[in-house]
Amino acid sequence: MRPRGIAFVIVLVSVALVCPAAASSSAPVDLEKAARIKAAYLYHLAKLATWPAGTFTAPDDSLRICIVGDDPFDLVGLFSRTKLDLQAGRHPLCIERVGLEGETDLLGRLARFHLVFFTETARHLAWQVLRQGPPEGLLITAEIDGFCENGGMVGFEIGDGRVRIEVNRNALRRGDLRLSAEFMQHTTPVDPVPDRRD
């Protein structure tokens, strides 16, 4: 694996390459470019996270990423169409979209993944998972307003030409998950608030 400092430089460069508007505080971000930023964000989040010992049964096991909610610009396709060798350390990335509407055992369905990303349309499912308490070793992230304040681990937002990443450090600790110091320096820590989920 590349040194963590180099890896975080790659994060910033990749975001600028896939969406130059993200580097500007005034230029709006169009939806297609936003989808590319989300894909880059998920890729590098996977690279810069550390999972608990024993999470992977073999050094080259796949790291499984799950998209929950509408995916109009095909994040899964963006991953599958790239010519890059997408790995987190020695773990090849495997990404898929999962429909959980009507699912009675949300945590059971998500247990085989390592990283879950909830889109805005899956807000109610994200709240359900947070209420039940995600299992140790499952990195929960979303593009939902107030996600980290309500117990989510990493929140992601694109607006006004800016990329904003929030982190709930207590939630990460509860999941026995760590993010690199370089990554954390570019995030906004968020403390939980009394339950206001709907």
Query: Where would I find the H helices in the chain?
Result: 4-18, 31-48, 75-81, 106-110, 123-132, 169-174, 181-184
Number of domains in the chain: 1
Range of the domain at 102: 4-189
Domain-located, residue 73: yes
Residue 72 lies in a domain: yes
pLDDT digits over 142-198, tens only?
Answer: 999 999 999 999 998 877 667 789 999 999 999 999 999 888 888 999 976 554 454
Cα–Cα distance, 42 to 21 (Å, whole number): 19
Query: Per the domain annotation, does 196 fall within a domain?
Result: no
Tell me, what's the pLDDT at 8?
A: 43
Q: What is the pTM of this model?
A: 0.79
For the chain, the C-alpha Rg in angstroms (whole number) is 16
Structure tokens at 138: 């499952």
Residue 116: pLDDT over 80: yes
Check if the beta carbon of residue 175 is closer than 8 Å to that of residue 153. yes
**In the predicted structure, residue 127 carries a pLDDT above the cut 90:** yes
Indicate if the pLDDT at residue 98 is higher than 80. Answer: yes
**CATH value at residue 156:** 3.40.50
Which is more confident, 188 or 15?
A: 188
